[in-house]
Structure 1
Amino acid sequence: MAPTDLYTQLNEAIGAHGAWKLRLRMAAQKGTSSEMIETAGDCHVCDFGRWLDSLPSHVRAQPEARQTIDLHAAFHTCAGRVAKIAAQGQKDTALAMLDHEFNDASNALKNAVVKWKLAAN
């Protein structure tokens, strides 16, 4: 895999996962569907997750890749919990999770992606 392809994919991942916070905040405000809970909680459904799954094993074995894969899964686990809480009508709890737990998971993933981008250059 060419470093420019890797760099481009990692840049796209940062933007796409940043959009989750807005989607989850809207879900907390209005409630959410079971489909969103499943989508939010599954790290293999999003474009980035499918791309990560498609990487050759030697790329996936790199420390930066491994950390990103693990944090991506944790990010989606947290997103799924927020969506589930929102679907149960627990608006305040879901919003608090977004501002704390989800924000922490998002920042950790973003930092890992940046670290991987730097290592790829």
Structure 2
Amino acid sequence: MRSARRSQSQLIAIGQHAPWVIASRLGAISRAASAPSARDVRELQRMVDEKWLALGDAWWQMSMQWWQWQAGWWLRPQPWLGPAGDDPLRWWREAARAGDAVLASGLRPVARTVAHNRRRLAARS
């Protein structure tokens, strides 16, 4: 359950910080709508770029976590092998924990980016 708490805390952090970051950026965009400064243009470009970087990092982290679980999965006894196989309930619980670990590894870069943006934009204000 440790990874489940980790993914839940990351979702909570994203849910707390993201609305503030969105409101801050929308306010800056609306104030600079007619004549954006160079700083506003850089912020808009950064806003677009960081989404792609966070997505790529999240995708990479999730795929590495998935492949790590897959590599270990094939080495374990499987429940469909009968008496030589593993306990099916234990197998499903492990698969659920692995799925949550994949989710947590994908949320980590997003939560980190959102928290960093909140601190950076709050220091600007």
Higher relative contact order (Cα pairs below 8 Å, separated by 6+ residues): 2
Alignment TM class, shorter chain as reference: 0.3 to 0.5
Larger radius of gyration: 2
TM superposition score normalised by structure 1: 0.34
TM superposition score normalised by structure 2: 0.33
